[in-house]
């Protein structure tokens, strides 16, 4: 078809990949709002306190008071961090009496945290003193 062979004359040409089909360049990109949400997600994960909270939640459900004790901050501060994470659907909560319990929202979140920890080389200490995880090993 004629429309298949036409290239937008106003489209910039690729300098380093001139042999790529120009009509498909950019096709795998999502809409701008998706990248805004992705940046917000990684922004929330970039806080060290939130990263600690999420690391603890890899092992399952925790109440706010125990998270505060282990992380070493006030319950109020933990609640504020969890509010941010909840708004981005990173964690979810359930109330049981006067306690609120949190857990990771889904396995995708767990995978993000595990991959980040693995990338940083924070594996469990091995007998030979090597702290980096074995290839393919998941860090918890």
57-105: pLDDT as tens digits: 999 999 999 999 999 999 999 999 999 999 999 999 999 999 999 999 9
Do 93 and 102 meet the contact criterion of CB atoms below 8 Å apart?
Answer: yes
Share of the chain above pLDDT 70, in %: 74
27 vs 41 pLDDT, higher one = 41
39 vs 6 pLDDT, higher one = 39
Q: What own/partner pairs with CB < 8 Å and gap ≥ 24 does 100-103 have?
A: 100/63, 100/64, 101/61, 101/62, 101/63, 102/57, 102/61, 102/62, 102/63, 102/64, 102/67, 103/57, 103/60, 103/61, 103/62
Domains (ranges, CATH) in the chain?
31-105 (1.10.10.10)
CA dist., res. 49 & res. 55, Å (int): 10
Going from the C-alpha of 66 to that of each of 57, 86, 99, 123, 125, the distances in angstroms are 11, 18, 10, 24, 25
- Helix 48-57 to helix 32-45 angle, to the nearest 10 degrees? 90
Split at pLDDT 50, 70, 90, the class of 1 is: very low
């Amino acid at each position: 078809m004629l429309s298949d062979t036409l290239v937008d004359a106003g489209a910039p040409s690729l300098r380093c990949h001139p042999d790529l089909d120009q009509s498909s360049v950019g096709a795998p990109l999502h809409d701008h709002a998706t990248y805004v949400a992705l940046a917000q997600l990684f922004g929330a994960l970039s806080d060290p306190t939130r990263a600690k909270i999420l690391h603890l939640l890899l092992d399952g459900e925790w109440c706010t008071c125990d998270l505060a004790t282990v992380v070493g901050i006030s319950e109020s501060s933990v609640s504020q961090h969890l509010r941010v994470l909840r708004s981005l659907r990173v964690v979810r909560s359930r109330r049981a009496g006067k306690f609120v319990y949190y857990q990771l929202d889904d396995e995708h979140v767990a995978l993000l945290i595990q991959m980040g920890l693995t990338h940083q080389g924070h594996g469990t200490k091995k007998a030979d003193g090597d702290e980096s995880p074995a290839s393919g090993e998941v860090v918890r």
